[in-house]
Every structure is written in structure tokens, then in C-alpha cells.
Amino acid sequence: MAEPHATNGSGFKEFLPEFVYGGIDGAITTFAVVAGATGANFDIPVVIILGFANLVADGFSMSVGNFFSSKASVDAYDKHKATEYWEIENLRETEVEEIRDIYRKKGFEGELLEQVVGVITSNRDVWVDTMMKEELELSKDRKSPYQTAGMTFFSFLLIGFIPLAAYVFALLFNTSQDNLFLYACLLTGVALSIIGVLKSAVNNKNVLQGVAETLFLGGIAAILAYFAGDFLENLFR
């Protein structure tokens, strides 16, 4: 299994994939909860309670899943690297021949090939790193599992709060409760559009396609949740 390559960016840009996918999940699942609660004609406090419960529980669950997935990749990389160190110590000639084959396939030959092999095999760390990249096609991610999980959780909470914003505002400031779901739809649409743009940057895809896909998925989730809530509310009335 190939290890994801480390990104070249730094700071927030380096964690953009985690921010995007945490944000998408946070916005869509929380919006679905709001839509379902609205379809069931729940009062504002209930909508807010269900929304925040979803934010904390689903956000934590997603970040834990991200943590274990990232940790499994790091552990697999470290295991393969330890194996390579053992092999160059105990199967040196075989490993030297593997380096020779790798660079022969790259077009090196004769004295130049032997010089390259000699330089690489003269340093154990360089030798192992070369085998990891060239033979196993593995490259260790610089981001720790704790960092990726933390960014996922932060993004889930930040973007996932947006569908609830209108309800929280109405409750705190005792404003009109009319059209709250409409405002939630508009705010969520803006949030998903921004996330769609960022997703396009991560995947190197067309921006309009990324926005359309994200809005479509969010809309489908909201429609299903709304009518499910409406159906159940009528069923148990």
C-alpha cells in the first residue's frame, strides 16, 4: 500500500486536505440534522441541541478515524523501513543488485551506473531512503496523526456550525424566527461553495465542478433528512 506523499506547502496550506474534508462532512451532516429537525417541526432549542450534539459526536468520530488511518500509514512506513535496514545488513549483495536494477532501468549503464550504486550504498540512510522511494514507492508524511486529526476536528466544528448560526442568533438575540431554515440554507450554500473551491484546489479539478458537486451532495442530504423528519413527525403525531 503506497504511502501518501508529503505536501510541499507549509502551515495551513499543508493541512488543506484535512480542512476541506472535515468541513464538507461537518457542513453536510449538521445541515442534514437541521433539515430533519425542521421537517419534524422541532423548536429552536431542540434544533440547536441536536445540531451541537452532532457537531461534537460526529466531529470527534471523524477525527478519531482520521487519526487511526494516519497512524496506520505511519506505522506501515516505519515497519517497511526497519525491514529495509535489516536487509541491507543481512542481504547486502541482494540489496546492492536491487539498487543496480533500479538505476539500470532509469538508463544508467557501465561505469556511471557503478558510480551511482557505489555512492548510494555507501550511506545506509541514503540507501534505505532510496529503496523506500524507488522500490516500495513510499514517502513518509511530515504531518503527525495528531495534527491531521486536530485539523479535521477543528474544520468539522468551524464549518459545521454554519448551518446552526441562524438558529443560535435567533435564540440569543430573540429575533424573528421566520425563515430561519431559509437563512440556514443560504449560509450553508455559501459555506459549501467555499469548501468546493478549496476541494478543487486539493484535487486539481475544475472549480465550478467542485462547487457543484459539493452543493449537490449537501442538497441531497438535506432533502432526504427534511422529508424523513417530516414523515416521522406525521407518523408519530
Q: Is the confidence at residue 227, as pLDDT, over 70?
A: yes
Residue 113's pLDDT is what?
A: 92
What is the per-residue pLDDT across 165-215, written as a single tens digit (0 to 9) for each?
A: 999 999 999 888 888 999 999 999 999 898 888 888 888 888 888 888 888
What is the per-residue pLDDT across 24-51, written as a single tens digit (0 to 9) for each?
A: 899 989 988 898 888 888 999 999 999 9
What is the per-residue pLDDT across 127-177, written as a single tens digit (0 to 9) for each?
A: 999 999 988 888 877 888 999 999 999 999 999 999 999 999 999 998 888
So where are the chain's domains? Answer: 11-235
Q: Is the confidence at residue 221, as pLDDT, over 90?
A: no
pTM: 0.78
Look at residues 137, 128, 134, 127 and name the one whose alpha carbon lies nearest to residue 1.
137
Which single residue is written with the C-alpha cell 443560535?
Answer: 168
Contacts of 3 (CB under 8 A, 6+ apart): 73, 76, 77, 138, 139, 140, 141
What is the per-residue pLDDT across 3-13, written as a single tens digit (0 to 9) for each?
A: 444 444 446 77
